[in-house]
Amino acid sequence: MGQILVTGGAGFIGSNFVHFIVENTDHSVTVLDKLTYAGNIESLAGLPTNRVNLVRGDIADPAVVDGLVKTHDVVVHYAAESHNDNSLHDPRPFLDTNIIGTYTLIEAARKHDRRFHHISTDEVYGDLELDDPERFTENTAYNPSSPYSSTKAGSDLLVRAWVRSFGLQATISNCSNNYGPYQHVEKFIPRQITNVIDGVRPKLYGKGENVRDWIHANDHSSAVLAIIEKGRIGETYLIGADGEKNNKDVVELILEHMGQSRDAYDHVVDRPGHDLRYAIDSSKLRAELGWSPEYSNFDAGIKNTIEWYRENEQWWRPQKAQTEAKYTKQGQ
């Protein structure tokens, strides 16, 4: 598995995976990234140039994709349009990237008989009631509720169909909400942290009762590597760290760790169709592949994340003003 092609490797979760590979293996990585607003070349700064190469290109461009897939042993597909709010305002880029981009990649992987791993989300399963004791499993029926999650569900089904119809050497993982370094400030946790750094009160959608199952990006990375190395072809693995927290508790924890009153936040208009609760059962991954999370304590993970944003203001500062202007326009 010496040569790995990582799509979306300049984005949040993808760049964390690239760092993890460099720090924990001897593999070399080529990052294929379109470098839209969500991709940041600075997320790869400091990595050894003899092991990490960046190619700027579109995963929906067959000419770019074919040549790269041909010269690599494994394709790890992180690239996606992934922000729910953006999908509600303009769904088309989500179709272009998540559906057509995935199709282009799996066609190349099929042509060149390359190992393929597809990164997906628990949002394809819809949501659970707040008082429901159940959690998502690999057998949960798909029930997406937004343009984002529906296009990710579509991309999952494409990969499954290519495995069955064409023998694609692929696996799929559906992960819960990630947090950690290099996450764009439009997302929930870094938005709250950077607001507090700027002396601005955090913003909480609705009543803040929506529950997410949080996992540190490093733990997601270690799980993906385990699946690539040991996972069974054609299988789906759910990745989670038993990190269920509602949004209100997360904001209050951030405020507490940053020396503020736990009630120093404002409520803003809720997102249309806002999913209530996500919860992952990752027992298949743990039992079959022997994986376990390092950041099983969400409190410790949040402390680590707060310190990263405090120490790396030069990374997130250029994004901040434009992001907040967009949210202000939306009343959020």
Which residue numbers are catalytic? 122-123, 148
> Tokens at residue 199, please?
């002396």
Angle between helices 102-112 and 147-166 (to 10 degrees): 20
Rounded distance, CA 286 to CA 240, Å? 10
How far apart are alpha carbons 61 and 58 in whole angstroms? 5
Token pair of 76 as six digits? 């790890």
Q: What is the DSSP string of 158-177?
A: HHHHHHHHH---EEEEEE--
Q: How far apart are CA 254 and CA 54, in angstroms?
A: 34
- Closest by CA to 246, choosing from 211, 292, 201, is 211
- What single DSSP character describes residue 277? B
Contact residues for 171 (Cβ-Cβ < 8 A; gap 6+): 116, 117, 118, 227, 228, 231, 232, 233, 234, 235, 236, 237
* Separation CA 126–CA 149 (nearest Å): 8
Write down the H helix ranges in the chain: 12-24, 62-70, 84-89, 92-94, 102-112, 147-166, 188-197, 217-230, 247-257, 283-289, 298-311, 313-329
Beta-bridge partners for 28? 3
